[in-house]
Homo-oligomer: A and B are copies of this chain.
Amino acid sequence: MNPDIILLGHGSGGKLSHELLDNLIVPTLSGITQSDQNDAAVIAAQEGRLAFTTDSYVVDPIFFPGGNIGDLAIHGTINDLSMAGAEPLAISVGLIIEEGFAVEDLRKILETMRHAAQDADVKIVTGDTKVVPRGKADKLFINTSGIGVIKHDLTICGRNAQIGDKILINGNIGDHGIAVLASRDGLELESDIKTDSAPLNGMVKELVEQLGEQLHTLRDPTRGGVATTLKEIALQSQVEITLSENSLPVSDAVGGVCSILGLDPLFVANEGKLLAFVAPEAAEEALAVMQKNPHGGQAAIIGEVTALADGKVRLKTAIGGLRAIEMLAGEQLPRIC
């Protein structure tokens, strides 16, 4: 495409916009033909309840080890739908591009978005592109919204955590946050840490099929990390959660960087992890489902719901103490997603 940077006119809705859409964005993302482009996508009738979610991505930098803002956005929306027990059906992509952004970078990002969607068997069906003048945005922001279909009658939500439930996570925590942080200008952290960004719809489908009503709550611990997410669920379900520090899976690399920087991995963002609350008798089966999945090799049972309470999370520390866990205060790592 010529020119090789994005111009304000690419957001005009006119001739340049159509060239950008027809030559780059639409063929790369979806393959919808020009004659089928309308203001809204039309989707066949569905059986089952619908799930609907939205997320805007403003991650800085937009390219980081293991991924970029594009596949992060697709995975994030797939995962939010999955946490409602839904199978992702269709995704929308809203781009806000800063004037002067390199067309080649845009192409790379759109290509990873398409691949991420294909890998999870979900279609990108509609989109929107805006361009703002230099200095009015930071390179590229992406909104992805998604529709999913809930093909069962289970109630999987934050209010449904129950006393005795075991709490599982599908692997090491903190990888995404530390990968993004380590790739920022000015920070010279040598590490091989990559984002854990991944689609979890396959794993959720298996959990739903295998566990049925024994699966109570699912949530992905993104911004705010595992600690904040568990605190949210404890508040919603009005329970007390007790975590075991010894059981928390953290890679040596992430643990090392966290020590150097004074960060607690419990508060660092993940983008390919889920927390599952399951009836105690189903915990081993849930663990086995996770461990068989490509995104669950390091899965572990990390705690349980120990009492009815006004939304409490406690950590049994490695040396036997009990520490109260609150939500992330302030801003630990801005623009992590």
Using a CB–CB cutoff of 8 Å, the interface residues on chain A facing chain B are: 7-9, 11-18, 34-58, 60, 79-81, 83-84, 86, 90, 92-96, 125-128, 130-133, 135-138, 141, 143, 145-148, 150, 157-159, 219-220, 222-224, 228, 232, 235-236, 267, 269, 326-332, 334-335
- Distance in angstroms between the alpha carbons of A51 and B44 in the assembled complex: 9
- When distances are taken between beta carbons in the complex, the residues of chain B under 8 Å from A148 are 40
Residue of B nearest to A139 (CB): B136
Knowing A52-B90, A141-B141, A143-B94, the reply to whether A81 touches B327 (Cβ < 8 A) is no
B15 touching A41, Cβ below 8 Å = no
B236 touching A34, Cβ below 8 Å = yes
- Distance in angstroms between the alpha carbons of A223 and B8 in the assembled complex: 13
Chain B min CB distance to A25 (Å): 13
- Distance in angstroms between the alpha carbons of A288 and B127 in the assembled complex: 34
- When distances are taken between beta carbons in the complex, the residues of chain B under 8 Å from A11 are 223, 331, 334-335
A39 touching B147, Cβ below 8 Å = no
A126 touching B15, Cβ below 8 Å = no
| CB<8 Å pairs between A and B, sample of 20 | A7-B331, A9-B330, A13-B269, A16-B330, A38-B83, A38-B84, A39-B84, A40-B146, A43-B50, A44-B50, A52-B92, A52-B147, A53-B92, A54-B127, A56-B143, A94-B143, A132-B138, A132-B335, A136-B138, A137-B137
A150 touching B42, Cβ below 8 Å = yes
Knowing A13-B328, A330-B16, the reply to whether A39 touches B143 (Cβ < 8 A) is no
Residue of B nearest to A328 (CB): B14
- When distances are taken between beta carbons in the complex, the residues of chain B under 8 Å from A35 are 158-159, 235-236
Chain B min CB distance to A137 (Å): 6
Chain B min CB distance to A126 (Å): 6
- When distances are taken between beta carbons in the complex, the residues of chain B under 8 Å from A331 are 7-9, 11-12, 14, 16
- Copies of this chain, complex-wide, total 2
- Distance in angstroms between the alpha carbons of A38 and B85 in the assembled complex: 11
- When distances are taken between beta carbons in the complex, the residues of chain B under 8 Å from A51 are 40-43
Chain B min CB distance to A208 (Å): 14
Knowing A14-B328, A40-B83, A228-B14, the reply to whether A54 touches B93 (Cβ < 8 A) is yes
Residue of B nearest to A135 (CB): B135
A55 touching B14, Cβ below 8 Å = no
- When distances are taken between beta carbons in the complex, the residues of chain B under 8 Å from A83 are 38-40
- When distances are taken between beta carbons in the complex, the residues of chain B under 8 Å from A56 are 94-96, 128, 130, 143
- When distances are taken between beta carbons in the complex, the residues of chain B under 8 Å from A219 are 38-39
Shortest beta-carbon contacts, A-B, top 5: A13-B223, A14-B328, A13-B224, A145-B145, A54-B92
